[in-house]
Amino acid sequence: MPLNPVISKLANKLVVLASASPRRQDILRNAGLKFEVVPSWFKETLDKGLFKAPHEYAVETAKQKALEVARRMPFKHRKTPDMVIGADTIVTVDGMILEKPVDKHDAYRMLSSLSGKEHSVYTGVVILLCHDKENEEVDYQLIDFYEETKVKFADLSESMLWEYINSGEPMDKAGGYGIQALGGMLVECVHGDFLNVVGFPLNHFCKQLDLIYNRSTSSLDLDSSSVSLSENSPHSNSHSSSAKHRPSSSSSKQTHHNKKSPSTSPLHKVKRIGSDSEASESSLKLVNSSSKHADISDTTTVPLMTSRGQLSEHEDGEPKKKDLQKIMDLMDGFKASKALFTASKMCVFDLLRSKPGLDAEQVAQEIKASVKGTVCLLEACVSLGLLKSKEQNFQKPVYENTDLASRFLLSDAPFSLHGYIQHCDNTIWPLFSHLESAVKEGASQHDKAFGKKSKDMFQDTVYYNQEVKLRFMNAMHSIAKVTGRAVATAFDLSSFKTACDLGGCTGAMAYEFTKAHPGLSVTVFDLPAVVEMSDRFTPLHKGNRMSYVAGDFFEDELPKADLYILARILHDWPDERVHILLKRISDACRPGCGVLLSEIFLDEDRGGPSRGLLQALSMSVGKQRSATEYSLLLKSHGFITAHVRHTDNMLDAMLCIKE
């Protein structure tokens, strides 16, 4: 069905494409349609979990794009369009929706998931007809539909994947490939509309225009209270009927749809006051058209905002205290963290170790703070179980450390977390302050948090300046001291005589291995800027069985060893770099050599532990994995998992042997 039969009817109309996609523009221009391009400002942040099927998400996104442009144009562009076309293309595989990759590593993830499989490409399209009415009122008629095309990828080699990714082509395309260009070399076969995969289902669009302009038995005059079509919709599984639409008496200008009278007409009347340009989408009720594979009697409604204090439809009765407490604890969690960070930074715990029994005024004088602020901080720490207060003879309460604070919060305690707490306060807290942006963009907010774009965050950290370097090493030293013994004693390592702790930082972890295994010698391998500072942390650790070698484990030759230790390393790096590192280790190993991996192992259903899943929210280039995922990762480089140990500490452990 060519566009020619309806071209004359569109010739004097203002048609707007609410998309910046050059591919959609080319498809429509090549078909002879004249239009303006006004890219939508709608942020594509709809919750995919709210949609029963992938095509519903694509259609709803297209709808919101078109509505945003239609509402904006009368005010920003001083004109009302006659037609707005919105479209959104997604790729789905194994139940996941793939949109545009955020970076090369995201593109690798997408394309790897498509390799050797058949996937679906959906494009949701909305045609929005706009009509100026009296009193600045604008009427809209909305037609939505979608098209599905099946695409089968060939089995892709790593070299082909990275060659394509490095071409730059995947970055602005749903699913990470463009079938009309270099991406065509990845495709084995296509079932359905090829142009749909490119970005716009032209054939289906033309049929809808024909249905609107050439086959309607009723006028498009929106003053009419009924709209009907005499022809069936383009797909055989739809049927023909009519529907009555009456403006609601509510102030929101809703149009209600009688579900007892389903309609295959793609024309539905939606009224809103044009001057209310910033009104919420909640004032609209849009009725789905005869979309492919859709129940045409369905309605898609965004509910109106309820008044403040109004109860929900499903009242559960009196909320339980424990449920409320759990939510309140989550809401207050950031306050507790910041109280801990502040007390640690102001050395409150060290002060009360050296001078126990001080009152708030005395503590305030020592830490150079206000009395009021100090009282609040001390009382908060008491409530958190970090301090205890004593009152004697009606005098001011005095404060002491609890056993918990003495074990973990003193700067020189054997299991001190003081360094890691500083790291959380100075590095993690600023990143999480931009969590909303991180979630929307799927990327670390390092530049917003620190005003500096980071290409390699670890390299930037250790080379940035002396203070930042020491703070980072203190944090790693803290974690290694607390977790080192649990990791070092997780397995019998008596068959190994030499070990290399890759990225071993201060040597605290390596030292625990030498203590737990008297026959084992350990080499710490880390960047030169780290190794040169190691004396500040481990003067007592050095001996005949510990040594340091400076180098980059991605670039330099790895020290020879029977066992390679990877503690808190792999989760920091993208898949590409992880595979490079594991290949280098595999090449350095002979059969019988081992890799001891220590990370937070996620539950197999990814339901926990929350510590690992919350850490993933930092949106670093790496990712958290389950024990099975790590095992498969190592297996791909010739290592067979011998043992997995979920410790009672902060890190778990896995021992793998080279075949």
| Rounded Cα distance, 304 and 390, in Å | 54
Residues 599/563, Cβ–Cβ less than 8 Å = no
Residues 101/178, Cβ–Cβ less than 8 Å = no
- Alpha helices by DSSP H, listed for 127-169, are 158-166
Contacts 24+ apart (CB under 8 A), 628-636: 628/604, 629/602, 630/570, 630/597, 630/599, 630/601, 630/654, 631/656, 633/570, 633/578, 633/582, 634/582, 634/595, 634/597, 636/579, 636/582
| Rounded Cα distance, 50 and 56, in Å | 10
Q: Is 388 exposed, middle or buried (0-12, 13-18, 19+ CB in 10 A)?
A: middle
At position 262, the amino acid (one-letter code) is P
Scan for tokens 């102030």, then name that residue: 251
| Rounded Cα distance, 165 and 513, in Å | 41
Instruction: Let me know if 316 is a catalytic residue.
Output: no
DSSP 8-class letter at 151: E
| Rounded Cα distance, 548 and 237, in Å | 71
- Structure tokens that stand for 575 in this block: 């898949």
DSSP 8-class letter at 307: P
DSSP 8-class letter at 602: B
Q: Are strands 269-273 and 387-390 parallel, antiparallel or unpaired?
A: unpaired
Of 26, 47, 82, 88, the active-site residue reads: 88
Scan for tokens 């071409």, then name that residue: 167
| Rounded Cα distance, 55 and 460, in Å | 43
| Rounded Cα distance, 143 and 154, in Å | 36
Scan for tokens 């390799």, then name that residue: 115
- Structure tokens that stand for 171 in this block: 């970055």
The phi and psi torsions of 34 (rounded to 5 degrees) equal: -100, 130
- Measured N-to-C along each axis, helices 104-114 and 575-588 cross at an angle, to the nearest 10 degrees, of 80
| Rounded Cα distance, 659 and 656, in Å | 9
Q: Are strands 594-599 and 563-567 parallel, antiparallel or unpaired?
A: parallel
Exposed e or buried b for every residue in 517-548, given b needs 16+ CB within 10 A?
A: beebbbbbbbbebbbebbeebbeebeeebbbb
Q: Is the dihedral of CA 478, 484, 487, 493 positive or negative?
A: positive
- Measured N-to-C along each axis, helices 321-345 and 371-383 cross at an angle, to the nearest 10 degrees, of 130
Residues 17/46, Cβ–Cβ less than 8 Å = no
- Structure tokens that stand for 355 in this block: 């001078």
Nearest to 570 by CA among 526, 507, 633, 628: 633
- Give the active site residues: 88
